[in-house]
Chain A
Amino acid sequence: MLNDLILAPSQACGAFRLVPLLRNNFRTDLRLGLSKESGFAVDLSKAVYISYIPHALVVEWTNDSTPVATLGTQLKNVRTRSQVSPGVFRRMAKRLDGHRLRFLPLHLAMEGLLALHFGGPTVQWGYFSRQAISKGMSPRVESSVAGWAIEGFDEALRVFEIHEGQVGVLVFVADALATAFATPHPNDYRALHDTLLQDFFGELIWHYAVMYPSLPPCEFPARPESIHTLADLRGAVQVMRQEWAEFGRTASVGLLDVPVTAEKVYEAGPFRLERFIGSLDPSAENHIGERIVAPDGSLQYLKTFRLSAAQTRRAYLLKQLADNDWNIERIAKKYNLTANDILLQYESNGYGWLFHQHVLDAARAYAHRKA
């Protein structure tokens, strides 16, 4: 995914390891900036998304690759506020005056996850409850932790020394990838570095930050016998730097090398804003996120959220149902289990309300008898 981005040696602070992402050639016809708008709800015309939304991002582009000035530095008077009442956004991604698009970072991706099979059962099998049939999955809820609530994250961001030409960062907590963030231009990154504190993270990351207060140091790759000249030392430092970049790549393999299901959100001139969901394989790490892809296939913007194991499982179970025509027996047959086992699995993951009470009671009685 990070084809033209270069990974630089990481900077560690407490449980955090921040890997800078550098870009040699950056475009100037696409710029990203911060909009200070904040809110608590998004009107999606047929549904309402409710969350704490402390900021929004604004992307500006040109169609003919003429450069765009950094957001907020133009002399012209631009309206950045929407006309709806304060606190409520209209749509996740909204076109503003000129070539500008306002979107809500991570909420865009999270809404994509929450909207999965939101309509509920498409086949009305007898075991589905009245609520599941009439209301679908509404209200669908997931929880997360704000960046500023994560122990030591503010300190790690404060002491981080931004590289020249840095356009992004991979944030690892206890060497688990928490988020990846990339912008089109180094100046945009400098302006948006602190906004990572206002993004949200999974519960897992919050736990890791508390449980692992420090990280292991790194090793120098050379042996004393192999050093004969200063050039050898210089070479060894180069190898060390590469090894560190390699570490970033191997540690982020769960995000970068996994096929994702992407969905186009907006076509901004030649650029494409997409949101994506990872494989949802419960045994692997899973990320959801959003990205802007340039016509040449390079990644101009990226922001990801790592799903916790429970969140993955919930999404996975829902996907299983949808893939199998909402038929419990068919799933049971697929995994060589009984329908009762499957029902109990759904119940233990918080989906008990999908089924009639007497169906669940029967399943529980069956399990009791078997034990």
Chain B
Amino acid sequence: MFAERTQREDIVHFFNACYACTGQREFYENANSQRVSLDFLHQYVLVNYRSIYARSLAVGINHFNQAQIILRLLASGKEAVSNEGALIARALATMPPQRAWKTLRDARRLGINNRRTRAIARDYLRGRDAVFDCVKYRNKVKAVACHNHLSLPGEAGRFLFEKRVAVFQTPLFEQVRRAWHSAEAMYELPFTVAEGLATKHRIPREQFLAKIQSRMTQAEKLRLQKTADIEVDLSRSPLTKLALYALSLPELADEIVAAMQRATERLLHRTSLALGKVAAVLDNSYSSSGTQEKKRRPLGVAWAVDRVLAAASREYRAFWTHPFEGAKPEARGATDLSTPILDALETSPELLVIVSDAVENDPPGGASAVLKFWQSQLDPTGRVTIVHFNPVFSASDYAPRSLAEGVPTVGLRDAESLPTALAFARFATGTATRADLESFLDRRVEEFLARAEDGHVE
């Protein structure tokens, strides 16, 4: 019985870490400790629960951890379990291309070269537009092709490896060749490729950005909003990114509010999340300002979750740790979770969602005691379902830090994965068995492998 419990907890721990951790610096911990802690978890689960490790590619964990899993699976092919290859191929196909290529290139850095790796790289290239990828991800494709002895279609081989070529028949390759000599041809290329050439041609940055706009991706446009006057169609951006963008602005414009509204609707349309009476406790203390690498991420996630819950529930009330006047929250002040939790419980909701990094200090340990006493004394039957979402991975706990024993803690990287996280929350309490977990995984794997490519990229 204890073995079963240990196994279940190990697995839940691992999934939680994979939802939240990106190996970057967090407010309370540095990047190094995050990496060391996460590396240990990966290695531990790989060795002890290989089939679960492979199937975790399907449960909606973040791309960073997907890449880690793929590399570790490829490096230890001898113990491979069934349909591992299909899962890896599918995961690579759903990842953003730059991340997928980087993963395959990291295989070279780590010295992973076996038949399966070569086949996976070959199949991945086949599924992509080889000409475009050769141009946009030139160095990565070159490294992968070299390492795996890929046979490249058409002129791609000459484009990647030969120094001087007179003329290409492929239009895009020819465009790149011409862009080396003419600044005008450069504007037909993808933004990141043209960026390097613009420096070579000594074109002023503003002039370049103004003319290249049509070739930028949505994420690039959003990222460069503040450096130049770039028109961006905000309605195409995902909710969490919009929230983070809005938080970075001194004033909140109406169009951003509208765009967030539309993003929320799109998100709900895709996932069909319908909730009853919901209360949310959201942390906007100073620690939610994140770090230089993840600027205001915890706050942005909390705000995006707030928007989603407001739209998805029949009756909704939000309790911020520091109630704010304006249109957007601000990361400021100490963390007093106990007061908003008590306020929220007084409204007797069906579901109480807490979004916080679980480090409280006003008073320390107040919220966990409140939740513990609430569950043991005031609500032993569990009328109120309480879920704690933690956007921050705590290296010393090998998981996102939890608030109280009976309250499930689920790692959450963005509001888009809220439905998944809600579904996963019941495993984190410890009420579900290992068999339940297995069937949950099997179902997710089936969906993952069956789902047609919908091109969903964050």
When distances are taken between beta carbons in the complex, the residues of chain A under 8 Å from B440 are none
A227/B378 in contact, CB under 8 A? yes
Interface residues in B355-381 (C-beta closer than 8 Å to A): 361-366, 369-370, 373-374, 376-378
Q: Considering only CB atoms, which chain A residue lies closest to B348 in the complex?
A: A230
**Distance A219 CA – B366 CA, assembled complex (angstroms):** 9
When distances are taken between beta carbons in the complex, the residues of chain B under 8 Å from A159 are 27-28, 287
| Interface status of A139 (Cβ within 8 A of chain B) | no
When distances are taken between beta carbons in the complex, the residues of chain B under 8 Å from A337 are none
**Distance A220 CA – B367 CA, assembled complex (angstroms):** 10
**Distance A9 CA – B334 CA, assembled complex (angstroms):** 10
| Interface status of B261 (Cβ within 8 A of chain A) | no
When distances are taken between beta carbons in the complex, the residues of chain A under 8 Å from B22 are none
| Interface status of B267 (Cβ within 8 A of chain A) | no
Q: Mark A322-348, 1 if CB is under 8 A from B, else 0.
A: 000000000000000000000000000
| Interface status of B286 (Cβ within 8 A of chain A) | yes
B285/A161 in contact, CB under 8 A? yes
| Interface status of A217 (Cβ within 8 A of chain B) | yes
| Interface status of A163 (Cβ within 8 A of chain B) | yes
| Interface status of A8 (Cβ within 8 A of chain B) | yes
A237/B342 in contact, CB under 8 A? yes
CB distance from B296 to the nearest CB of A (A): 15
**Distance A11 CA – B285 CA, assembled complex (angstroms):** 13
**Distance A164 CA – B285 CA, assembled complex (angstroms):** 11
B374/A162 in contact, CB under 8 A? no
CB distance from B360 to the nearest CB of A (A): 10
**Distance A66 CA – B430 CA, assembled complex (angstroms):** 62
B369/A220 in contact, CB under 8 A? yes
**Distance A241 CA – B287 CA, assembled complex (angstroms):** 20
Q: Which 8 A-B pairs have the closest CB atoms?
A: A220-B369, A9-B363, A161-B286, A11-B361, A161-B334, A227-B377, A237-B338, A240-B363
Query: Given A159-B287, A161-B287, A161-B361, A229 and B378 touching (CB < 8 A)?
Result: yes
Query: Given A161-B287, A237-B339, A220 and B378 touching (CB < 8 A)?
Result: no
Q: Considering only CB atoms, which chain B residue lies closest to A18 in the complex?
A: B361
A217/B342 in contact, CB under 8 A? no
Query: Given A9-B362, A230-B378, A162 and B286 touching (CB < 8 A)?
Result: yes
When distances are taken between beta carbons in the complex, the residues of chain A under 8 Å from B363 are 9, 218, 237, 240-241, 244
Q: Mark A234-250, 1 if CB is under 8 A from B, else 0.
A: 10110011001000000
When distances are taken between beta carbons in the complex, the residues of chain B under 8 Å from A224 are 373, 376-377
**Distance A112 CA – B334 CA, assembled complex (angstroms):** 37
**Distance A339 CA – B289 CA, assembled complex (angstroms):** 65
B364/A12 in contact, CB under 8 A? yes
Indicate the member of A10, A218, A224, A237 with the most B CB atoms within 10 Å. Answer: A237
B342/A161 in contact, CB under 8 A? no
B373/A227 in contact, CB under 8 A? yes
| Interface status of B346 (Cβ within 8 A of chain A) | yes
**Distance A224 CA – B334 CA, assembled complex (angstroms):** 28
11 A–B pairs (Cβ distance < 8 Å), ordered by A: A12-B364, A20-B334, A161-B333, A217-B365, A218-B364, A218-B365, A228-B378, A233-B373, A236-B369, A237-B338, A237-B369
| Interface status of B345 (Cβ within 8 A of chain A) | yes
| Interface status of B402 (Cβ within 8 A of chain A) | no
| Interface status of B34 (Cβ within 8 A of chain A) | no
**Distance A9 CA – B339 CA, assembled complex (angstroms):** 14
When distances are taken between beta carbons in the complex, the residues of chain B under 8 Å from A234 are 339, 342
When distances are taken between beta carbons in the complex, the residues of chain A under 8 Å from B287 are 159, 161
Q: Considering only CB atoms, which chain A residue lies closest to B342 in the complex?
A: A234
| Interface status of A50 (Cβ within 8 A of chain B) | no
**Distance A237 CA – B362 CA, assembled complex (angstroms):** 10
**Distance A229 CA – B342 CA, assembled complex (angstroms):** 11
| Interface status of A222 (Cβ within 8 A of chain B) | yes
**Distance A127 CA – B369 CA, assembled complex (angstroms):** 67
Q: Considering only CB atoms, which chain A residue lies closest to B338 in the complex?
A: A237
When distances are taken between beta carbons in the complex, the residues of chain A under 8 Å from B286 are 161-162
B365/A161 in contact, CB under 8 A? no
**Distance A213 CA – B361 CA, assembled complex (angstroms):** 19
Query: Given A163-B334, A230-B346, A237-B338, A220 and B365 touching (CB < 8 A)?
Result: yes
| Interface status of B390 (Cβ within 8 A of chain A) | no
A237/B370 in contact, CB under 8 A? yes
| Interface status of B335 (Cβ within 8 A of chain A) | yes
A164/B346 in contact, CB under 8 A? no
User: Could you list 18 further interchain pairs (A-B, Cβ under 8 angstroms) beyond the known A162-B334, A233-B370, A237-B366?
Assistant: A8-B334, A9-B364, A159-B287, A162-B286, A164-B322, A217-B364, A218-B364, A218-B365, A219-B365, A220-B366, A220-B373, A222-B369, A230-B346, A234-B339, A234-B342, A237-B363, A241-B366, A244-B364
CB distance from A160 to the nearest CB of B (A): 8
Q: Considering only CB atoms, which chain A residue lies closest to B334 in the complex?
A: A161
Interface residues in A192-227 (C-beta closer than 8 Å to B): 217-220, 222, 224, 227
Interface residues in B315-369 (C-beta closer than 8 Å to A): 322, 332-335, 338-339, 342, 345-346, 361-366, 369
Interface residues in A304-320 (C-beta closer than 8 Å to B): none
**Distance A224 CA – B287 CA, assembled complex (angstroms):** 31
**Distance A9 CA – B367 CA, assembled complex (angstroms):** 14
CB distance from A169 to the nearest CB of B (A): 12
**Distance A217 CA – B368 CA, assembled complex (angstroms):** 13
Query: Given A237-B338, A237-B342, A237-B366, A9 and B361 touching (CB < 8 A)?
Result: yes
When distances are taken between beta carbons in the complex, the residues of chain B under 8 Å from A163 are 333-334, 362
Indicate the member of A12, A162, A220, A229 with the most B CB atoms within 10 Å. Answer: A220
CB distance from B190 to the nearest CB of A (A): 40
**Distance A230 CA – B340 CA, assembled complex (angstroms):** 12
Q: Considering only CB atoms, which chain B residue lies closest to A241 in the complex?
A: B363
When distances are taken between beta carbons in the complex, the residues of chain A under 8 Å from B361 are 9-12, 161
**Distance A218 CA – B364 CA, assembled complex (angstroms):** 7
When distances are taken between beta carbons in the complex, the residues of chain B under 8 Å from A227 are 373, 377-378
**Distance A125 CA – B358 CA, assembled complex (angstroms):** 67
When distances are taken between beta carbons in the complex, the residues of chain B under 8 Å from A10 are 361, 364
Interface residues in B273-296 (C-beta closer than 8 Å to A): 285-287
A8/B362 in contact, CB under 8 A? yes
When distances are taken between beta carbons in the complex, the residues of chain A under 8 Å from B364 are 9-12, 217-218, 244
CB distance from B153 to the nearest CB of A (A): 53
CB distance from A260 to the nearest CB of B (A): 31
When distances are taken between beta carbons in the complex, the residues of chain B under 8 Å from A12 are 361, 364
A222/B334 in contact, CB under 8 A? no
CB distance from B21 to the nearest CB of A (A): 19
Q: Which of B322, B335, B342 contacts A233 (CB 8 A)?
A: B342
A164/B370 in contact, CB under 8 A? no
CB distance from A98 to the nearest CB of B (A): 33
When distances are taken between beta carbons in the complex, the residues of chain A under 8 Å from B332 are 162, 164
When distances are taken between beta carbons in the complex, the residues of chain A under 8 Å from B285 are 161
CB distance from A167 to the nearest CB of B (A): 14
Q: Mark A277-307, 1 if CB is under 8 A from B, else 0.
A: 0000000000000000000000000000000
Q: Considering only CB atoms, which chain A residue lies closest to B372 in the complex?
A: A220
**Distance A236 CA – B322 CA, assembled complex (angstroms):** 21
CB distance from B401 to the nearest CB of A (A): 14
Query: Given A233-B374, A234-B342, A237-B339, A164 and B362 touching (CB < 8 A)?
Result: no
Q: Mark B1-37, 1 if CB is under 8 A from A, else 0.
A: 0000000000000000000000000011000000000
**Distance A218 CA – B377 CA, assembled complex (angstroms):** 21
CB distance from B303 to the nearest CB of A (A): 18
**Distance A231 CA – B184 CA, assembled complex (angstroms):** 72
